[in-house]
Amino acid sequence: LDPAGKLSSQRRIAEGDTVVVYERHDAMRAVAVRAGGVLQNRFGVFRHDDWVGRPFGSKVHSNAGGGGGKKGGGKAGGFVHLLAPTPELWTLVLSHRTQILYIADISLVVAYLELVPGCVVLESGTGSGSLTTSLARAVAPHGRVHTFDFHEQRAASAREDFERNGLSSLITVNVRDIQGEGFPEEHRGAADAVFLDLPQPWLAIPSVSLMLKQDGVLCSFSPCIEQVQRACDAMRPCFTDIRTFEILLRTYEVRDGSLNSATANEEAVVGPRPQKRKKFTPSGENSGCTEKTSSVLVRPCSTAKGHTGYLTFARLRV
Ligand code: SAM
Q: Residue 25, SS3?
A: coil
What residue's CA is closest to ligand 1, atom 3? Answer: 100
CA distance 288 to 262: 13
Give residue-wise pLDDT tens across range 155-214.
999 999 999 998 999 999 999 999 999 999 999 999 999 999 999 999 999 999 999 999
CA distance 297 to 47: 39
CA distance 18 to 132: 17
Indicate whether residue 125 lines ligand 1 (CB < 6 A).
yes
CA 17–ligand 1 middle distance (angstroms): 27
Give residue-wise pLDDT tens across range 246-276.
988 888 888 888 776 555 444 444 555 554 4
- DSSP code of residue 4: T
Q: Exposure pattern of 199-227 as b/e (b: 16+ CB <10 Å)?
A: eebbbbbebbbebbeeebbbbbbbeeeeb
CA 148–ligand 1 middle distance (angstroms): 8
What residue's CA is closest to ligand 1, atom 12? Answer: 125
CA 198–ligand 1 middle distance (angstroms): 5
Indicate whether residue 308 lines ligand 1 (CB < 6 A).
no
CA distance 55 to 159: 26
Could you tell me how many helices (H) and strands (E) the chain has, helices first?
8, 17
Kindly state the average pLDDT of the residues 128-141. Answer: 97
CA 99–ligand 1 middle distance (angstroms): 9
Predicted interface score ipTM higher than 0.90: yes
Q: Which domains does the chain have, with CATH numbers?
A: 8-85 (3.10.330.20), 88-249+307-316 (3.40.50.150), 252-300 (no CATH)
Pocket test residue of 97, 131, 197 for ligand 1, highest count of atoms within 8 A of CB: 197
